[in-house]
Amino acid sequence: MASNAASCEAFAFDSSRYASDPEARAAWQHFIEAYFDILSFDRTDGRVLVEDPSGDRHPLAATQAESDFYAQVRLWHPGPVIVSDTRVSAQHWIRDHEARARAQVDHLMLYMHIEGASHIRNERGTFEVAPGDIVLLDLASRHEVRMGDAHCVLLTIPRLALKPHEDVHGVPYFAYLSADSAVGRLLYEHVISLVRHLPDLSPEAVSWLIPGSIALISGSVNAAGAAADGTDPAVVSPIARRIQRYVEANLAAGSLTPVVVCERFGVSRSRLHRLFGSSGGFTRYVQARRLTRCLESMASDPQRNIADIAYEWGFGNQSAFSRAFKRQFGMSPREVKRGTLDRKRTDTAQAASAEMAPRSVLTEWLLALNADAMALRRSGK
């Protein structure tokens, strides 16, 4: 954790520092890859990519000269949050299973525009984010972001510190606060003020004010959720949320069966199936969560034997595991392992360059957020 507010601006990214545009774009991808992969740097009309009936995406080719690219970022780490004041040229980002597993970052991100606009597509649908609008993204889920030239602010907050009332690990969380709403305007003005004054705050002020900011964010998204129409099909029932928490705590246990869960929570087999109908039923839901854990294990330790990872998370049949894994992620376990090893070798080579150093600092900050959040809880603030 930074020792004072002024020094918590550990670095700033500026694309103009680089000798060529290809070098600057490569450094920028390296800088943000804990969050997103970059699909393109194009200046189209900003429409979201259209999927064909098979679900395939069709990225558009770049339409402007490479010299149009720019990115300037100021970053702060005041305790259990990371604050980013970002100005970028038009870009197309994606966060998918591979990006999530590679970075091991599983926080919530407040995302808002000061200038420019973007389209966000995720499991909940497609959303346009204009200046003044705020979205809260779950970095445990898939997101696609397409933006024009923009000035935006991002706050990354660990789950331990920010707990929206509908947040259940393994269930994609998403909140949207419109600039037309009083709650949205209140939170937007607070975040703008925070970014403006953060560099001048004393360490003592930061230690008290940041928890207040987190509380305001949590209260705002919960208030917006309470005011929303309750017909959203993605809303999870209380009993389903309790079962999901139990599943997350017992994923490696062989006793995690429908019979055991029904007895523990007093529900029938048919009701348990209905509660998880959107996931294909309870058994399919548990399998999907275990496959995700396998993916994360492969990404964090690509040298480890695939069969050992599969067995650890309840898969006894190697061929059945491989088929289920490829159905869920679109690639085989061996492809994931090989790709992760290749990327780690690339990262090692890039880390030798001083120009690539900022990425390692950002990653360290992100991975430290949970520890900072636990310290915040112990302090009682």
Among candidate residues 40, 48, 35, the one with its CA nearest the CA of residue 66: 40
pLDDT digits over 273-320, tens only?
888 887 788 998 899 889 888 887 887 677 889 999 999 998 988 899
pLDDT digits over 157-181, tens only?
987 777 665 555 555 678 899 999 9
CA atoms lying within 13 Å on the CB side of residue 100: 21
**Number of neighbouring beta carbons within 10 Å of residue 129:** 23
Residue 80, pLDDT score: 84
Q: How far is CA 9 from the centre of its chain?
A: 22
Residue 216, pLDDT score: 93
| Token couple for 152 | 């935006």
> How far is residue 303's CA from residue 341's CA, in Å, rounded to a whole number?
8
Among candidate residues 144, 108, 107, the one with its CA nearest the CA of residue 129: 144
Burial of 216 (0-12, 13-18, 19+ CB in 10 A): middle
Helices H / strands E in the chain, number of each: 12, 12
Q: Taking the CA atoms of 18, 22, 23 and 25 in sequence, report the sign of the dihedral they define.
A: positive
Q: What is the pLDDT along the chain (381 residues), one digit of tens a residue?
A: 333 333 455 568 899 999 999 999 988 988 888 889 899 997 754 444 444 445 444 444 444 444 489 999 998 988 789 999 999 999 999 998 777 766 667 788 999 999 999 999 887 778 899 999 999 998 878 889 999 999 999 999 987 777 665 555 555 678 899 999 999 999 999 999 999 999 888 888 888 899 999 999 988 988 876 665 443 434 456 788 789 889 988 998 888 999 999 999 999 999 998 888 877 889 988 998 898 888 878 876 778 899 999 999 989 888 999 999 888 776 788 887 776 655 555 545 544 443 444 445 677 777 777 666 556 555 555
**Rounded-to-5 percentages of helix, strand, coil across the chain:** 50, 20, 35
| Token couple for 7 | 């020094």
- SS3 of 74-97: EEECCCCCEEEEEEECCEEEEECH
Q: Which helix (H) or strand (E) holds 221?
A: helix 203-227
| Inter-CA distances, 162 with 85, 131, 293, Å | 20, 24, 23
User: What residue spans define the domains of the chain?
Assistant: 6-231, 238-330
pTM of the model: 0.67
100: amino acid identity, one letter: R
What fold is seen in the domain 6-231?
Jelly Rolls (2.60.120)
Q: Which residues pair with 334 in a beta bridge?
A: none
Asked if the domains at 6-231 and 238-330 fall in one CATH topology, the answer is no
Q: Taking the CA atoms of 339, 345, 347 and 353 in sequence, report the sign of the dihedral they define.
A: negative
Among candidate residues 278, 284, 188, the one with its CA nearest the CA of residue 232: 278
Angle between helix 357-379 and 333-351 (nearest 10) = 100
> How far is residue 129's CA from residue 36's CA, in Å, rounded to a whole number?
18
| Token couple for 297 | 């294990």
CB of 295 closer than 8 Å to CB of 99: no
Q: Which helix (H) or strand (E) holds 265?
A: helix 258-265
| Token couple for 212 | 């207040």
Residue 240, pLDDT score: 83
What is the four-CA torsion angle of 78, 79, 85, 90, rounded to 10 degrees?
A: 160
| Inter-CA distances, 122 with 48, 137, 204, 226, Å | 11, 9, 39, 21
| Block residue for tokens 């080579």 | 349
**The domain defined by 238-330 carries CATH number 1.10.10.60:** yes
CA atoms lying within 13 Å on the CB side of residue 161: 31
> How far is residue 156's CA from residue 84's CA, in Å, rounded to a whole number?
8
> How far is residue 172's CA from residue 325's CA, in Å, rounded to a whole number?
20
